[in-house]
A and B are shown apart, each in its own frame.
Chain A
Amino acid sequence: MSDFLEENKLSDLPDDILLHVLSFLNTKHVVQTCVLSTRWKYLWKHIPTLTLHSSSFSTMKHFARFLSKILTLRDSSTTLHTLDLVHHGEIESRLLKNVLNYVSSHNTHLKELGINVRADTCLILSCVSSCRALTSLKLSMYPKSCYNFSETLFPNSLNLPDLTSLDLTNFVFCGGQNGCAAPFLAFNKLNSLVIHKCTVKHAKILRISSETLVNLSMHNNKFNIGIIELSTPNLHTFTFSGIPSQIIRGSGLSSVKLVSIDALMYSNDRIPPMVLLSWLLEFANLKSFIVSSTTLQVLSLFPNLLEVKHLFLRNLKSMKIKLHPHLLGLSDVLEEVMLKKAAAKSRKEATKLRKAFNAGLKPPFIPDGIVDFLLQNSPSAKVDITTIY
């Protein structure tokens, strides 16, 4: 047996397997393998993935030099499969152009592209649209000036027929004549959609319509609209964080099996609790529910919540509650509500409670009765409570 082990050292694997392992690593470390042995001297040049993160360099100058070198010295005839450029800051135009030109000249088989920079967005978008073979695209772009957070217009004409995974940050989706924005219609194979900090313009409705969509994640979007239309019959997972403010119309939520929500609210607003409850009523097939304590707190502010009897959440198997630190504005609202309830009983109770709050008492992380409320139709569901801090 020991003979076998010696004969089959990992280093006896063919180059393409070694490169496969290396392709998961930051490109900086891949190039460093050149000093391992004579066999590895030039192996790095054939790496099919370029993971270019400025965070692995201590200065922008080092990163810039690395970029120039890697683009020149990498073996140009090796297929480029993945490129991921991340720099949370301004990138010099010339440098960005070099990277984009490299991408364009190796776009035939490029499957995965990620760009996260502060730069001229037009250049980036025209490069992206030339990469017709893409299956995965992750874009996060902010304009050059660090005080400018304006969004990039998401182009209608992005022709990426094989795209299965799309992750967008800081984009604006424009509506058409019917007051509806449907930015993802052209992606016939879309499997996973993640949108962060995006907004909608010239539309009242955001429409997401896809037979193939399985995962939808929405984080901290600034949608100033009231309705999201979801036609996603195969949606399996729904993840949300931010202030719930859009009613979700359409059958999209009824197929979902796993939901993860981290909702928040900073002031006394009727809408988030109402919207949250409306979503819950749609989750007909939900099996697993992951929810933050702040979400439960927001939900508890729906007037007379515990009296709502509904055949929702009938198939729940597990609920995981993650305890988050108290949110200032939200805690104030909860305290107000608790004081009102106490005052309805007696002035003495209200005074006692007010004193307690002043002395540092906080509202409960998990509002009373809310777990039972959620499990009213699935009493045998498993409940797990964990702290995240």
Chain B
Amino acid sequence: MASSSSNLISLKTSDGTVFKVERALAKTMKTVQAIIEEADANIYMIPIHNVFSHHMDMIIDYYKLSVAGKSKEFSVEKLDNDELKDFLLAVHYLNMEDLFEVLTQAVADRLEKKSVGYVRKYFGIENDFTPEEYAAIRKKNDWAFKGDDIEPEEDEEKQEE
């Protein structure tokens, strides 16, 4: 098996940077772990597609904080919405459970109390409803839109029988 000198795993990001990370950190990346286990011989360098060096920097920050029991101090506040999305995708690709939870929560926090239009834009969703279809689904589920002051299309609230 691996010699003791391979305590570090080399990961190559999409933008060509090589990161030498502790085996323990690589273990938190299920995708990487699977690659290591499948390789017949020692693998020198593992390419991680969809992950950029700035993602790896943040992953290493999170790892260091969680090892020190300070994972609550990790913040993605400074990332704008697109950067957060990309980071979530990278972490999803690497299959890192804890960090994934943190990031999905962060995305949810940014979506909380936002209008339908905002959410659509955030997720990059194209509205493929016809106006009639939209009106129909909106009416059918109006029980979920009542008493909501965010939705601009909301009718004046009527007293229900």
Bound Cα distance from A65 to B129, whole angstroms: 26
Mark contacts of A29-50 with chain B using CB atoms, 8 A cut-off: 1 yes-contact digit, 0 otherwise: 1011111111111000000000
From residue 95 to 125 of chain B, which have CB atoms closer than 8 A to chain A? Answer: 104-105, 107-109, 111-113, 116, 119-120, 122-125
- Interface pick from B30-38, B60-68, B139-147: B139-147
Residues of A within 8 A of B138 (CB): 35
> Known contacts A5-B86, A13-B89, A25-B111; is A62 also within 8 Å of B146 by CB?
yes
A35 to B115, CA, bound (A): 11
Q: Which chain B residue lies CB-closest to A257?
A: B69
In the assembled complex, A28 has its CB within 8 A of some CB on chain B: yes
Assess whether A157 is interfacial by the CB under 8 Å rule.
no
The reply to whether A65 and B104 contact each other, CB–CB distance below 8 Å, is no
Known: A29-B112, A61-B160. A11 touches B141 (CB 8 A): no
Which of A37, A58, A70 touches B147 (beta carbons < 8 Å)? A58
Q: A177 CA to B105 CA in the complex, in Å?
A: 47
Residues of B within 8 A of A24 (CB): 104-105, 108-109
A28 to B116, CA, bound (A): 12
A145 at the A/B interface (Cβ < 8 Å)?
Answer: no
- Bound state CA distance, A21 and B89, in angstroms? 13
Docked complex Cα distance between A38 and B127 (Å):
8
Are B123 and A36 touching (Cβ within 8 A)? yes
Sorting the interface of chain A by its residue count into under 10, 10 to 19, 20 to 34 or 35 or more gives: 35 or more
Contact yes or no, B123 A10, CB < 8 A: yes
Q: Which residues of B contact A23 (CB under 8 A)?
A: 108
Inter-subunit contact A65/B128 (CB<8 Å): no
Contact call B124/A33, Cβ cutoff below 8 A: no
- B134 and A35: CB pair below 8 A? yes
The chain A residue with its CB closest to the CB of B14 is A4
Q: Is the CB of B160 within 8 A of A36?
A: no
Q: How far is the CB of B13 from chain A (nearest CB, A)?
A: 12
Q: How many Cβ-Cβ contacts under 8 Å join chain A to chain B?
A: 105
A11 and B121 alpha carbons, distance in the complex (Å):
10
For residue B126, CB closer than 8 A to chain A, the reply is yes
Determine the chain B residues whose CB is within 8 A of the CB of A10 once the complex forms. 85, 88-89, 107, 122-124
Which listed residue (B111, B134, B160) contacts A21, Cβ 8 A? B111
Q: Which of A18, A31, A37 has the most CB atoms of chain B within a 10 A radius of its CB?
A: A37
Distance of A59 Cα from B120 Cα, bound (Å): 28
Complex contact A36–B125 (CB within 8 A) = yes
In the complex, how many angstroms separate the beta carbon of A53 from the nearest chain B beta carbon?
12
Once the chains bind, are B104 and A66 in contact (CB under 8 Å)? no
A66 contacts B123, CB within 8 Å? no
> Are A57 and B146 in contact, CB atoms less than 8 angstroms apart?
yes
A selection of 9 A-B contacts at a CB cut-off of 8 Å is A9-B123, A10-B89, A17-B92, A17-B104, A38-B129, A38-B133, A40-B125, A56-B147, A66-B144
Known: A11-B124, A24-B105, A28-B144. 8 other contacts (CB 8 A): A8-B86, A8-B89, A10-B89, A11-B125, A32-B144, A33-B116, A35-B116, A36-B116
Residues of B within 8 A of A (CB): 14, 50, 82, 85-86, 88-89, 92, 104-105, 107-109, 111-113, 116, 119-120, 122-129, 133-134, 137-138, 141, 143-149, 151, 157, 160
Leading 6 A-B pairs by shortest Cβ distance = A24-B108, A58-B147, A31-B144, A9-B124, A62-B147, A57-B147
